[in-house]
């Protein structure tokens, strides 16, 4: 329903549910908020809200995919997400990713390096990218900045 809203329910075998109930803590969930969410869900508004989000996120995914293909291939490889919020980009080996990230940041585009999200040594070759909070009209220009930074940070074959 909303980011940060923590409200859930449990369904399962009665013995399992009973165990959860015994260990449960309510973490100060407001009874008023819980009732409002229950009404929101029963009214059908939740289903309409989810469909609206699916359309919005699909549009953002499609805009991002097209921009990445136009501005960043072949310097990144990726699969278009079929769910979730994130693109996982693999940066080409002939790109100095640290330098590219600095260039993009200097041009106003911050990108989170993959090593913040992995435990392995491949993390620095990856980028996690999410267009969800970015206005539609800023996706293409932001990806173009990333593409220019990647191109500028490309090593010559002798440097690779």
Per residue in 52-84, pLDDT (tens digit) is: 999 999 999 999 999 999 999 999 999 999 887
**Which residues are CB-contacts of 6 (< 8 A; sequence separation ≥ 6)?**
27, 29
CA atoms within 13 A on the CB side of 98: 2
**For 31-40, b where at least 16 C-beta lie within 10 A, e where not — what string?**
eeeeeebeee
Whole-angstrom distance, CA of residue 131 vs CA of residue 136 = 8
Whole-angstrom CA distances from 123 to 25, 34, 52, 67, 152 are: 36, 40, 34, 23, 21
- pLDDT for residue 26: 61
Per residue in 78-105, pLDDT (tens digit) is: 999 988 788 999 999 999 998 999 999 9
pTM above 0.85, yes or no: no
């Amino acid at each position: 329903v909303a980011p940060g809203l923590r409200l859930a329910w449990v369904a399962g075998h009665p013995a399992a549910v009973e165990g959860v109930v015994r260990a449960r803590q309510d973490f100060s969930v407001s009874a008023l908020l819980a009732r409002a969410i229950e009404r929101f869900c029963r009214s059908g508004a939740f289903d309409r809200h989810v469909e609206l989000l699916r359309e919005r996120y699909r549009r953002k995914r499609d805009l991002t995919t097209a921009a990445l293909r136009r501005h960043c291939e072949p310097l990144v490889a990726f699969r278009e997400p079929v769910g979730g919020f994130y693109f996982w980009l693999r940066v080409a080996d002939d790109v100095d990713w640290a330098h590219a990230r600095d260039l993009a940041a200097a041009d106003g585009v911050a990108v989170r390096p993959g090593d913040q999200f992995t435990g392995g040594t491949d993390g620095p070759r990856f980028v996690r990218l999410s267009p969800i909070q970015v206005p539609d009209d800023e996706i293409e220009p932001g990806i173009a900045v990333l593409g220019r930074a990647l191109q500028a940070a490309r090593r010559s074959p002798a440097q690779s």
